[in-house]
Amino acid sequence: MTATAERPQATIFKRPSSTEGIWSWLTTVDHKKIGIMYGYAAFFFFLLGGTEALLLRWHLASANSEFLTAGAYNAMFTMHATTMVFLFVMPASAAFMNYLIPLMIGARDVAFPRLNALSWWIFFFGGIFLYSTFIFGTSVAPISPDGIAGNLAAGGGPGSFNWLADSPDGGWFGYQPNAGAFYSPGTAMDFWALGLQIIGLASLISSVNFIVTVLNMRAKGMRLLRMPVFVWMSTVVAFLLLFSIPIIAVALFMVTFDRQFGAVFFSPVGGGDPVLWQHLFWLFGHPEVYILILPAMGIVSEVLPVFSRKPLFGYSAVVFAGAAIAFLGFGVWAHHMFSSGITPVAQAAFGLATMTIAIPTGIKIFNWMGTMWGGRLRFTTPMLFAIGFVAMFTIGGLSGVTHAVVPSDWQQTDTYYIVAHFHYVLFGGSVFGLFAGLYYWFPKLTGKVMDSRLGKWHFWLMFTGFNLTFAPMHWLGLQGMVRRTWKYAPETGLEPWNVAATVGAFIIAFSMLIFMYNWYNSRRRGVDSGLDPWDARTIEWTIPNPTPEYNYARSPAVTSLDHFWHFKYDEDDEGRAVRKEDADEIIAELEQEGLNPIEPIHLPNPSYFPILMAVGLPIVFYGIIYHTTLWGKLLIAIGAVITLSSLIGWAIEPIEEPHAPQDGGEPDPEPEGVDAGV
Amino acid sequence: MRPIWFSYMMPLGMPRILPFLKRFAALSGTALFLTSCSWIGNEDGPLTTFKPAGPNADRIDGLFWLTFWIATVIFFLVMGALVVMLVVFRDKGDKEKKLPKQTHGHAGLEVVWTVIPALILAAIAVPTVTAVFDLTGCEDDSMRVEVTGHQWWFEYHYPDQDIDTANVMVIPVGQEVCAEMTSADVLHNFWVPALHGKRYLVPGQTTELRLEADETGEFWGHCAEFCGLSHSLMRARVQVVTQSEFDAWVSAQQKPTPLPAEGTPEGDGYQVFTNKGCVQCHTVRFDDDSASNVIDAAAFNGPDLTHFASRDVFAGASLPEQGQTYEQALKAWLADPPNIKPGSFMPNLALTSQEIDDLIVWLESNK
């Protein structure tokens, strides 16, 4: 007897079956729909984080500025970083992983489709929970442990608070004890700590899902070393998440205990250690950096070969370099703490470890250049962004080496030099890479190609704006502009380059308007892409655009890396690619085949329970923030009941709802032995 | 058949190469202009890391420039190669031309670009590690200054001279000073770029930073770790003076300040000080010891005001601002401290302007 047969088939809970409209999105377990939702949500948060950045830049454009109050300024840089890291780059990468991993390994969905939906909804409600701090959160002036309170000015002005200031203001790094119960009283930092806790849970769940998917659901012949580099990098990221998220989860629980229940893990007043928080935070935080960059590196490794019309140079070196970066990434966290007073032995060791990361990073950059070398480069929009990535990331990598030189870092740390460095790797790197991916895979979503003229305007404006914003920050930092500085004195001479950076930031913002218009317009009126708009190499392009719900009409059998390329091209005696005479017919056949599955395809059924289970979590967490009141206790109970009863509903949910085939005839037969609903 | 991507190509085909080159020239020109501006056109500010004034900062500066020039050479090599590639290997739209060779990699090259960066890094690593050990910790015979970070000002205690002061640290030229640092509340980070790198002030722990200047002058500092609402106003000054000036300063600081007589303008200010609650936080030592107001070092305290007027800056070395006289700044500060320094533990005491004027007269007499 199979496990399937033991599951109850008679239903109290009928599984939803909408394929269109709002319900189909709320109950979907389709990796593509989930990926799209991740993408739009990430972009929405990108706009919020970008708006916060513009407020900061506008403020900093003049010395002794009072455009924002100190409280609002601190809140804006905290929320800008928190948003960009946790609510933009991570979910945007998750969007690509969700949409592409099954397509690239030739699967119909991820290993655990409902779990996938759960992780998306947890992320979504976590983001809303975090941002609800603007409505519910409070920030007040610090109170010293002996009960002496700091003061705010009455009646407006720079020393007062406004609604913007009533959001988390302890920095995205939440250094203790400043972000602890005494020096950041009010609930805003609780929203931050608990919001990140929820969002981390989403990452943890999807990491397990992706690892199992990649290890178990690859198409026939898709050996590990035939997987596209993007899939490889996503897998590496999933392992990074799996090992690093628990660390921050523990640390955030400790902070929550400190803040809510009077624990003193990080409070020196009770014998706690504030530096312990830094170790925990960066032990998560440095792998996090690679969580943010590796997916973009994967995207670039897909885009460069296609538009160079050559295979990726040193495929296995690129893959192993990615894994090496991730591995080393767990051994360098204390380079964020070179000025914290750790021993010289520790400083030297972490400095050397940090330098070694430059080696695999260099390997990647050189192999990308090796890919382009001798190729026939087509400067399409995705290619421009990918080249931009290589160039900007190189600059960020080089400035990174100057931080590994520990004494040099003593001068640079906590200045704008660092801000410049990590924006070169995170914006110049990750964000350029993500845009390369958006332009490249847009046809898979829509069956259209994004307008290239507007795309190029977007690229050149973003590239110029980016460099105008962040290049001067190197100089500002070396001239002593410390980070998180609400005011700087005019005598420091920092103003002119701050003005330049602000102008650059608004150029970036303008380029985003062009992108959004282009996206909107190309979806409606774009040129049809056909099956293979880019003359691509990997198997996700062997199926029609937009991707059919079932992905592959027939499971592919893969015989080589760049499988699709070998459909279309032979090599002559010199090793040069020669397009097969019947390549166009092959493509036309693939399209026909992909659109017309021979037999009915079984897909996992939608489910109500992922969204229900997810919605209970923020309710519990609201309850924790207000746990001293009756309402708080009630909220904890309500949330727990929702989540736990959904869990039970999930467990006893029937695997398959017999549904009528499209012609209205007999229902589909039950699937045999395949537990597709899990 | 023309592949469909052809219509999405960037205008880089043969007939359209000129606009590309123009754009490239314009962009690289802009970039060069910006770079040169930042290196040539800008004066160093008072917080610059480029003007080391002592052996420690000097050593760091040397390391920075070593790394900088190596990085610059690599930058130009990589970017140069990239630009050459983009021009030479661009698709010229020549359909007759054969497609590129499908090379999959080159083991020798992989070794080359693994080993060469490793060697370069090793070359940087050696001076890095030696500098880490050479620049950490203090010599036994160095002069000690205990630095305590407060939200948002630095307190300095000279244990051997028994002096308490704030915001402005005075040290003799050519003498190694060991800053033994801790914090009274949150993390702070003491940074005087001309003298050394940064070091945290951690509550419950002591960290050391050695400072040494080989020229006299006033150097700016700043708290570099985010420490709450007014982090940006937590600044510092280090005055480096000759040994004889230092000795004079020490003996002046060691003397108490005269207790003002009643009925004098200073006496009126002193009355405000005692009646408005200032005495709860601020220590003042008078020549009449029975009048001295001494706050226990372990209790919540504000800066020692005994020699307030000997310091040219106050309020965490953030006042007076540029364009403000000392009196104007003091007036604005006393009228509403939290509006100047948000979150300030010094409250708005609702002083009348007469009271403020009196206080200023008295404070200025505390030389």
Instruction: Supply the pLDDT for residue A302.
Output: 96
Rounded Cα–Cα distance for residues A402 and A408 (Å): 7
Give the whole-angstrom CA distance, residue A134 versus residue A60: 23
Best of A166, A335, A377, A380 to mutate (most B CBs within 10 Å, chain B): A377
Minimum Cα–Cα distance from B230: chain A residue:
A70
- Window from A103-112, A534-543, A583-592, A654-663 with minimum mean pLDDT: A654-663
Instruction: State whether residue A156 sits within 8 Å of chain B by CB.
Output: no
pLDDT for position B8: 45
- What is the per-residue pLDDT for B156? 97
What is the rounded average pLDDT of the residues A284-288? Answer: 95
User: Does the structure show a pLDDT above 80 at A115?
Assistant: yes
Interface of A with B in 35-54 (CB under 8 A): none
Provide the mean pLDDT of chain B: 89
* DSSP string computed for A62-80: STT--SS-HHHHHHHHHHH
182-221 in A: which are within 8 Å (CB) of B? 183-184
Residue A11 confidence (pLDDT): 53
Which amino acid type is present at position A306?
Answer: V
CA dihedral B243, B245, B251, B252 (to 10 degrees): -160
In chain A, what percentage of residues exceed pLDDT 70? 95
> Cβ of B4 and A532 within 8 Å?
yes
Nearest to B198 among A151, A314, A414 (CB): A414
- Residues of chain A numbered 60-119 and touching chain B (CB < 8 Å): 64, 69-71, 74
C-alpha–C-alpha distance, residues A374 and A378, integer Å: 13
Q: Are strands B143-150 and B177-183 parallel, antiparallel or unpaired?
A: parallel
Give the model's pLDDT for residue A602. 84
A547-561, B12-26, B178-192: least confidently modelled range: B12-26
Q: What pLDDT is stored for residue A153 in this prediction?
A: 86
Whether the predicted pLDDT of A663 surpasses 60: no
Inter-chain CB proximity B117 and A358 less than 8 Å: yes
Residue A512, pLDDT score: 96
Tell me which chain B residues have a C-beta less than 8 angstroms from the C-beta of A481: 47
A70 and B10 within 8 Å at the Cβ level: the answer is no
How near does any CA of chain B get to the CA of A206, in Å? 33
pLDDT at A87 over 70: yes
In chain A, the residue whose alpha carbon lies closest to the alpha carbon of B339 is A159
Whether the per-residue pLDDT at A15 is higher than 60: the answer is yes
Q: What is the mean pLDDT of residues A383-402?
A: 95
Chain B nearest-CA residue for A338: B199
3-state SS, residue B159? coil
3-state helix vs strand vs coil in chain A, percent to 5:
65, 5, 30
- In chain A, pLDDT over 90 holds for what percent of residues? 82
Q: Which residues of B touch A340 (CB under 8 A)?
A: 200, 202, 207
What pLDDT, on a 0 to 100 scale, did the predictor assign at position A12? 60
Q: Which of A356, A373, A494 sits opposite B45 (nearest CB)?
A: A494
Q: Is the pLDDT of residue A3 over 60?
A: no
Enter the tokens of residue B152: 């948002």
Q: At what angle do helices A31-60 and A90-105 cross, to 10 degrees?
A: 150
Q: What distance in Å separates the CA atoms of residue A438 and residue B264, rounded to the nearest whole number?
A: 77
Q: What is the b/e burial string over A131-152, where b = at least 16 CB atoms within 10 angstroms of the residue's CB?
A: bebbeebebbbbbbbeeeebbb
List the single residue in A475, A484, A579 with the smallest CB-CB distance to B226: A484
Q: Confidence band (pLDDT; 50, 70, 90) for B34? A: low
CB-based contacts of A127, cutoff 8 Å, min separation 6 = A41, A45, A87, A91, A195, A199
| Among A445-459, A632-646, B195-209, B286-300, the least confident range | B286-300
- What integer is the mean pLDDT of A385-410? 95
Report the chain A residue with the minimal C-alpha distance to residue B124.
A405
CB A381 within 8 A of CB A457: no
Q: What pLDDT is stored for residue A161 in this prediction?
A: 82
Cα nearest neighbour of A146 on chain B: B300
* CA pair distance A194, A188, nearest whole angstrom: 10
At residue A665, the pLDDT reads 42
pLDDT given for residue A678 in this prediction: 39
- Which of A661 and A165 is assigned the larger pLDDT? A165
| Predicted pLDDT at A20 | 78
CB contact under 8 A, A376 and B132: no
Q: Which range among A358-372, B32-46, B50-64 shows the weakest confidence by mean pLDDT?
A: B32-46
Q: Is the pLDDT of residue B18 over 80?
A: no
Q: Counting Cβ atoms within 10 Å, is residue B335 exposed (0-12), middle (13-18) or buried (19+)? A: middle
Model confidence over A434-448: pLDDT tens digits?
999 999 999 999 999
A376 pLDDT band (50/70/90 cuts)? very high
Q: Residue B199 in contact with residue B206, Cβ under 8 Å?
A: no
- Helix (H), strand (E) at residue B240: strand B235-241
Which residues are paired to B155 by β-bridges? B148, B166
Q: Do A479 and B90 touch (CB under 8 A)?
A: no
Task: Tell me the C-alpha distance between A227 and A237, whole Å.
Answer: 15
pLDDT interval class at A671 (50, 70, 90)? very low
Contacts with B257 (C-beta within 8 Å, 6 or more apart), sequence order: B284, B285, B286, B287, B306, B307, B365, B366, B367
